[in-house]
Amino acid sequence: MDRYTLSCSAEAHDLEPVVLAVHELIHRLPVTAKSRDRDGIRVEDGRVIDRHYNGPILLEAIKKNLHIQVTPSSGPYKGVPVRVTPLRDEGGNAIGAIGIVDITGIFDLATLMENQSAIIKQVCGKDPCPLDSEQIDSKR
C-alpha cells in the first residue's frame, strides 16, 4: 500500500503532486504551497513555475496559523486577491500552508451595485439599457 505524508520539513517536490492536483481542480488557477521549514512551490498554467517559493501570505498563514483572505501588497500576486490556509498536524499546529488566487475576491458586489448606473450609461450610452427600440422581442 502506498502512503503519502506531509510534514513541516516537506520539500517542494513533496508538495508538488498535491499542488498540481488542486491546480487542476480549480481550473488551473495559480496555486502555491510551502512547508513550515522548507521552500515551497508555485504552480501556474499547468506547470511548476518556482520550486523555491516563499510567498509573504504563505509565511504569514504559517506564522499565525490562520486562514487569510487578502490582496497582497508585495510578491508575484501583488494586487490580486488570494486565499491561504495553513496545513495543520494532528495537534492543530501549522506545518505548512497552501494558497490560491481568489477569483471571488475580484468581484466586489457592493462596488458594482454602487456604480451600476454609471456602468450602464457607459456601456449603453443611456440609462436604462437597452433602449426600447433595441430590445429583442423574446426579452420584452
> pTM for this structure?
0.74
Spatial CA neighbour of 4 closest among 15, 37, 58: 15
Domains in the chain with CATH codes: 12-106 (3.30.450.40), 109-139 (no CATH)
Q: What is the C-alpha to C-alpha distance for residues 29 and 64, in angstroms, rounded to an integer?
A: 25
Torsion 70-75-80-83 (CA) sign: negative
Q: What is the largest CA-CA distance in the chain?
A: 69
Phi-psi region of 135 (alpha: psi -120 to 50; beta: other; left: phi over 0): beta
Residue by residue, pLDDT tens for the chain (140 residues) are 678 889 999 999 999 999 999 999 999 999 999 999 999 999 999 999 999 999 999 999 999 999 999 999 988 998 889 999 999 999 999 999 999 998 876 666 666 666 666 666 665 565 555 556 655 555 54
